[in-house]
Amino acid sequence: ETGVTQTPRHLVMGMTNKKSLKCEQHLGHNAMYWYKQSAKKPLELMFVYSLEERVENNSVPSRFSPECPNSSHLFLHLHTLQPEDSALYLCASSLTGRVGEKLFFGSGTQLSVL
Amino acid sequence: GENVEQHPSTLSVQEGDSAVIKCTYSDSASNYFPWYKQELGKRPQLIIDIRSNVGEKKDQRIAVTLNKTAKHFSLHITETQPEDSAVYFCAARFGTASKLTFGTGTRLQVTL
């Protein structure tokens, strides 16, 4: 297992549920990212945190709410999702100074919204 | 806006042959171009990257070439092996932004 761990690996939720995705990195990185991976689409950047400050919010609907309490942990809080939000959600980390470069990805959370 | 196009979407080669995947980008200010490999059910992993001040970079059987004038870059895999079978994503970073824009991916199948 690499240094970026995501839980849970799989998640099924209804449209009215509230759930959270968790990401933890042990690489000494201080930039963390949420990406969305859908079938036949490019990886889409959702959020970037650098030194625990959100530096990128890529026009993501408010039903997705990120939280970065420290440089090792990143959460994605989910509420009132839509079926089209079903996708693989990937967390990544990197070093500041090279933000956006040499991303280390987690294994992802496969999310299904019913 | 920022755009990265990747071709082909699928590629099948025989073991031992070479494979080439091409990407074009829209913003001439792009300065960083990584390639990621994602095996089935696994996470994307960086395999090689190149900066805009370099025209070519090689690491064993993989190489990346960059043509800034034409705004395209390519991944070359020589002597392909079955374990090279995966989806390959190109990406580009525009300026000093923290955002990488990814291509749509190429599914490479290496057959015996």
Helix (H, G, I), strand (E, B) or coil at B104: coil
pLDDT score recorded for residue B60: 96
Please compute the mean of the pLDDT values over residues B1-25 and round it to a whole number: 94
Q: What angle do CA B49, A46, A44 make, to 5 degrees?
A: 55
Question: What is chain A's length?
Answer: 114
Q: Are B21 and B48 in contact (CB under 8 A)?
A: no
Q: Of the given ranges (A46-50, B33-37, B56-60), which has the lowest mean pLDDT?
A: A46-50
Q: What angle do CA A106, A112, B3 make, to 5 degrees?
A: 60
A63-112: pLDDT as tens digits: 999 999 998 999 999 999 999 999 999 999 988 666 567 899 999 999 99
Q: Which residues of A touch B99 (CB under 8 A)?
A: 45, 48, 56, 58, 100
Q: Is the pLDDT of residue A55 over 70?
A: yes
Taking CA atoms, what residue in B is nearest to A107? Answer: B43
**Contact criterion met (CB < 8 Å) for A106 and B97:** no
pLDDT score recorded for residue B98: 66
pLDDT score recorded for residue B95: 64
pLDDT score recorded for residue B97: 65
pLDDT score recorded for residue A64: 96
- Contact B31/A at CB under 8 A: no
pLDDT score recorded for residue B107: 96
**Mutate which of B51, B100, B101 to disrupt the A interface (most A C-beta within 10 Å)?**
B100
Residue B90 pairs in a beta bridge with: B35
Q: Are B98 and A55 in contact (CB under 8 A)?
A: yes
Q: Is the pLDDT of residue B16 over 60?
A: yes
**Contact criterion met (CB < 8 Å) for B98 and A56:** yes
Please compute the mean of the pLDDT values over residues A35-58 and round it to a whole number: 84
Cis peptide leading into A83, omega within 30 of 0?
no
pLDDT score recorded for residue B94: 76
CA dist A34 to A77, B14, B50, B54, B58, Å?
Answer: 11, 36, 23, 29, 30
B69-94: pLDDT as tens digits: 999 999 999 999 999 999 999 999 87
